[in-house]
């Protein structure tokens, strides 16, 4: 129960910081997607049901601050959470390097699918901006993810 509250509080804090404070630390006009990092971390830490509940909450929280298709992030976050839980059953993801690689892959897939859905729905995204978001945004998020892991880890009941 304590871990659920830690992650819910983390989602609320990161969800508030992401649209406001992270605008000041952009690299090539991209910022890290910390909510997706929390979804990845919760998927590694919780069972499927707990991870899906947290990913829906994080996705709806992110959708509330974005213009566009409402519910798309919630749907994609659930997909990533499901896939990470299934992957964690097959292999052990216990080092920061493996977590960084996992976050990079998930964020790259998320940005690609999100961008393609936006293009399909009629929003024009120039190719250079699309590629910058997919590559630099994914790399930036994966590099920042160990910092978020380190911040959340002391508040958890059992170690990662």
54-97 pLDDT per residue, tens: 899 888 888 887 766 787 888 999 999 999 999 998 988 888 89
Q: Which tops the pLDDT comparison, 27 or 109?
A: 109
With 70 as the cut, is the pLDDT of residue 147 above it? yes
pLDDT band at 11 (very low <50, low <70, confident <90, very high): confident
80: left (phi over 0), alpha (psi -120 to 50) or beta: alpha
- DSSP letter at 30 equals B
pLDDT of residue 133: 85
Phi and psi angles of residue 38, each rounded to the nearest 5 degrees, phi first:
-65, -35
Q: Read off the pTM.
A: 0.86
pLDDT of residue 117: 87
Phi and psi angles of residue 26, each rounded to the nearest 5 degrees, phi first:
-75, 145
Spatial separation of the C-alpha atoms in residues 44 and 94, rounded to whole Å: 9
Spatial separation of the C-alpha atoms in residues 137 and 27, rounded to whole Å: 8
pLDDT band at 33 (very low <50, low <70, confident <90, very high): confident
pLDDT of residue 123: 80
pLDDT average, residue stretch 113-138: 86
Domains of the chain are 2-155 (1.10.1760)
Residue 92 CA: distances (Å) to CA of 20, 44, 140, 151? 35, 10, 24, 21
pLDDT of residue 76: 92
């Amino acid at each position: 129960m304590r871990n659920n509250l830690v992650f819910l509080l983390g989602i609320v804090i990161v969800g508030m910081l992401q649209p406001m404070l992270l605008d000041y630390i952009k690299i090539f006009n991209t910022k890290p997607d910390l909510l997706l990092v929390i979804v990845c971390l919760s998927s590694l830490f919780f069972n499927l049901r707990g991870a899906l509940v947290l990913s829906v909450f994080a996705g709806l929280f992110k959708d509330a601050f974005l213009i566009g298709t409402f519910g798309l992030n919630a749907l994609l976050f659930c997909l990533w959470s499901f896939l990470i839980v299934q992957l964690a059953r097959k292999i052990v993801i216990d080092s920061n390097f493996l977590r960084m690689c996992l976050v990079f892959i998930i964020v790259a897939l998320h940005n690609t699918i999100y961008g393609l859905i936006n293009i399909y729905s009629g929003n024009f995204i120039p190719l250079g901006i699309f590629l910058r978001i997919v590559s630099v945004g994914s790399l930036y998020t994966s590099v920042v993810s160990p910092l978020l892991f380190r911040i959340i880890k002391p508040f958890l009941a059992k170690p990662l």
